């Protein structure tokens, strides 16, 4: 089976799978590790438009794009068209390659401030935001939108979804990602792939990405085959499993499932992620932020239960050092387990309150 390409505006990718935005996860360390394992396009974690336009240290951090972090998208969350547009212009000026408009986050505190998935109940505001953003950035910079299939399962919600989807394409967006759950569902219940099929059927000439329940390479292949969408937006499935991108490439190019990640690949990813976290945030904060990702990496480890327990018990930077040195030592697998067998779990462990898109 030949690999399929994906085009978002002027950007072209030889694998139709991207790393989606994940609040609290898809920072520079995660993106760098994902790229090391074959990710062709990565998104920064969602940022509030008000923080982007507010001068200060946080604004400087958001607007500092590294030379090796391309192509990269900045995803914005907000409710005011003017602020959204101003933030988009700053992102592009700082070097982001794509601006993504978040209309899908289901977290209650986000909805309560008329942001994220709330916009699906306000078509006029949603479309004005997209129009302002499109006008605020250079013509060659793609603007994309992330949506869910409606605020709920009611007929009015579906009607508003189609109104917004048609409207954003009319206003010049390059691609839209649709998550197969409603905002009301949050992450409960299966993602409705038949709805994604209907979206692509109605908009065959437009670039549609699909999201929801993509935890292993086979999920991505099934999504593309069953729905006909142009690409897959991998979010939660990439936490602690950066090899999913190389696995997707292998599966689409050969038609066969790749072998599970070797212990050496796991060790390489873990240590790279840890080094990137501590280099960017400092040892104390970096170790703390890495710990939540280490819990996900542990799912693929041959001693998953032991590693998970050790990760949960780790509190100080030295505790994290001990876990990595003990369980990801170069000779660990050979000495204790022989061939590595990966555990395939639901892959849906996300920090409480995180706005995850996949």
Q: Which residues contact 131 (CB under 8 A, 6 or more apart)?
A: 81, 171
Q: Which residues contact 234 (CB under 8 A, 6 or more apart)?
A: 17, 18, 19, 20, 214, 220, 244, 245, 248, 358
Picking from 276, 280, 314, the residue whose alpha carbon sits closest to that of residue 295 is: 314
Is there a contact between 116 and 103 (Cβ–Cβ < 8 Å)? yes
Tell me if residue 39 is catalytic. no
- One of 105, 177, 311, 355 is an active-site residue; which one? 105
Three-state SS at 333? helix
Cα 128 to the center of its chain, rounded Å: 25
Is there a contact between 120 and 164 (Cβ–Cβ < 8 Å)? yes
Helix ranges restricted to H, the chain: 28-36, 49-53, 57-62, 81-94, 108-111, 123-136, 155-170, 193-202, 217-227, 244-254, 263-281, 283-297, 304-313, 317-327, 332-336
Give me 349's structure tokens: 């462990």
Is there a contact between 184 and 157 (Cβ–Cβ < 8 Å)? no
* CA pair distance 48, 54, nearest whole angstrom: 10
* CA pair distance 322, 32, nearest whole angstrom: 24
Three-state SS at 61? helix
Catalytic residues: 105
């Amino acid at each position: 089976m030949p690999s399929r390409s994906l085009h978002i505006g002027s950007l072209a990718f030889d694998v139709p799978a991207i790393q989606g935005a994940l609040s609290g996860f898809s920072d520079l360390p995660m993106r760098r590790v994902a790229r090391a394992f074959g990710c062709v396009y990565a998104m920064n974690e969602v940022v509030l438009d008000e923080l982007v336009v507010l001068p200060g240290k946080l604004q400087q951090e958001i607007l500092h794009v590294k030379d090796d972090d391309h192509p990269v998208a900045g995803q914005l969350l907000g409710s005011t068209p003017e602020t959204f547009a101003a933030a988009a212009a700053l992102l592009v000026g700082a070097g982001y390659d794509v601006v993504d408009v978040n209309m899908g986050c289901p977290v209650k505190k986000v909805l309560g401030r008329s942001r994220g998935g709330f916009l699906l109940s306000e078509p006029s505001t949603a479309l004005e935001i997209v129009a302002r953003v499109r006008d605020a950035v250079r013509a060659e910079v793609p603007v994309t939108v992330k949506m869910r299939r409606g605020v709920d399962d009611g007929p009015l919600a579906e009607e508003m979804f189609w109104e917004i989807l048609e409207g954003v394409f009319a206003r010049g967006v390059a691609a839209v990602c649709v998550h197969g759950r409603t905002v009301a569902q949050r992450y409960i219940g299966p993602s409705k792939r038949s709805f994604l099929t209907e979206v692509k059927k109605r908009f065959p000439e437009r670039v549609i990405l699909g999201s929801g329940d993509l935890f292993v390479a086979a999920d991505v292949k099934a999504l593309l085959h069953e729905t006909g969408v142009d690409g897959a937006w991998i979010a939660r499935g990439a936490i602690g499993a950066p090899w999913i991108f190389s696995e997707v490439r292998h599966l689409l190019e050969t038609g066969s499932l790749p072998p599970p990640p070797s212990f050496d690949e796991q060790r390489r990813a873990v240590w790279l992620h840890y080094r990137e976290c501590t280099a960017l945030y400092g040892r104390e904060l970096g170790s703390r932020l890495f710990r939540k990702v280490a819990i996900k990496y542990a799912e693929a480890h041959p001693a998953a239960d032991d590693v998970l327990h050790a990760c949960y018990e780790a509190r100080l930077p030295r505790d994290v050092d001990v876990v990595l040195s003990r369980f990801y030592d170069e000779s660990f697998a050979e000495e204790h387990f022989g061939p590595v067998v990966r555990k395939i779990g639901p892959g849906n462990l996300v920090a409480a309150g995180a706005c995850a898109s996949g």
